Amino acid sequence: MFIIKNKAFTFRVLPPFIIGHLLLLFQKTDVGGAKRDATVGHLPLIEFIANNHHLPLPGDYHVANVPLWHFLASILYRIGNNAVPITIFQLVIAVTTLLMLDSILKHYVSDSTSILLVCAVAINSYFISSSHFPTTDGLAIFSFTLFFFGIHNLLFQPENRKYLVVVNIAITVSALNRQMFVILFAIYAITFFKKKSIYRIFLEVLPSALLVFSGFYLFYVGYCDFFNSDVCWPIRQSRDLVFPVFVNIPVICSLIVLVLFPVLVRREVAARKLISLNVIFIIGIIVLMETYGSKKILSEKEITGGGIYKFRELFGPFSIFFDVISIGLFFVLTSMIFRMFKRESWIYQSLIVIVLSSIFGPYAFQRYFEPYILILGSIFLAINSKNIFSTSKFSVQKWAVFLVSFQILESVASIFIRV
């Protein structure tokens, strides 16, 4: 039945997704550190909970996340006393993630274009690794997409309360799986700020806020004894949040510029005021990087993982040019979008929230944000496809093909180089 109703998805999305998993067998690299994280931290914790039905002593807790995923995965682990049921579950939610994205995109573009954009996500090496290794990434990407699936439907069916339930579930699962996703509260407020009162927005997300607060309290205060002890790994790690991972900024900006590049080459004459503002900002970026940014990045000792990080490292002492160009073009892109694209600008504002939250590490792994950029970027391209490509040398179909090609290149490259 599924195959009959979703022929295009079944025969154009699933095959490259499966091939991507086969490529993992030949990779010389640990994609973004996912395999190591699973082996060293996540799987041992899952096995411990499965065998003992409770968490280890706080001093023996060696993952950075609130353990919602680990309790869920421990139930699956008990089914066969191995990780196979977990892998099956991860594959199921990965395919569900792609189906939800497809359902959003098809509202704005043709089925064939939607499938191409979904393929770009399906063959992303970090998306594949998240559905292969038992880390928190797979559930994080699923609940993140579920959140935007709920918002998308609320925008078109505001009286359908079931999607408000979906949004609250997505926020709760996201934040109790990866703490940084408390940012979804901010994204929800940004999305409906001009459509609803602040009081109503507060009431709508209050259930998830209470659940997230309760979960954080039980874990950080009840389990980790936050105020009196620092033996819990997440508490020790939180000290590093005082010093942002500055290198994430140019990397994440470069990825957003890459995905949304057609906006930058629209055949329109930009306002003089806008050009002047961009020039001034880029000069400011050069000064910032010369006086602070480059030194800050050189002083950082965070573990990095990802193809863009490795590409940036190739520039050596000239990496400042990569940083300036990436951040500068991101600012130009942002100013153009806010001036030209009023429709559903909350999608791009969500990307900005992700940029700002990405600096809180302490690790700089590309898998932590690239799939999210691809998902949101694809939605933005679909929503604004007519405006973006009406005066562009590209078409949305051709650009989708480029994104697919880039993801194939990135995945294949990981076979030969360490990313």
8 A C-beta contact, residue 389 and residue 395: yes
- The C-alpha angle 21, 25, 29, rounded to 5 degrees, equals 100
Separation CA 124–CA 368 (nearest Å): 13
Task: Look up the pTM and report it.
Answer: 0.92
Q: What is the DSSP letter of 194?
A: T
* 4: its two tokens: 């009959």
DSSP 261-326: HHHHT-SS---HHHHHHHHHHHHHHHHHIIIIIHHHHHH----EESHHHHHHHTTGGGHHHHHHHH
Q: Is 365 helix (H, G, I), strand (E, B) or coil?
A: strand
Is the preceding peptide bond at 262 cis, omega within 30 degrees of 0?
no
> So what's the pLDDT on residue 386?
87
Burial code (b: 16+ CB inside 10 Å, e: under 16) for 72-109 equals bbbebbeeeeebebbbebbbebbbebbbbbbebbbebb
pLDDT in tens, the chain (419 residues): 555 567 888 888 999 999 988 888 777 777 778 888 999 899 999 999 999 999 999 989 989 899 999 999 999 999 988 899 999 999 999 999 999 999 999 999 999 999 999 999 999 999 999 999 999 999 999 999 999 999 999 998 988 889 999 999 999 999 999 999 999 999 999 999 888 899 999 999 999 999 999 999 999 999 999 888 888 888 777 665 555 788 888 899 999 999 999 988 876 645 555 666 666 677 777 767 666 666 667 666 667 778 888 888 888 888 888 888 888 889 888 888 888 876 668 899 999 998 888 887 667 788 889 999 999 999 999 999 988 887 777 789 999 999 999 998 888 887 777 66
Number of domains within the chain: 1
* 110: its two tokens: 């043709």
Q: Is 61 helix (H, G, I), strand (E, B) or coil?
A: coil
3-state secondary structure 132-191: CCCCCHHHHHHHHHHHHHHHHHHHHCCCCCHHHHHHHHHHHHHHCCCHHHHHHHHHHHHH
Nearest in space to 330 (alpha carbons), one of 348, 315, 316: 348
Separation CA 297–CA 290 (nearest Å): 11
Residues spanned by the domain of 179: 2-416
Nearest in space to 164 (alpha carbons), one of 179, 178, 182, 146: 146
Separation CA 120–CA 86 (nearest Å): 25
Q: Is 386 helix (H, G, I), strand (E, B) or coil?
A: helix
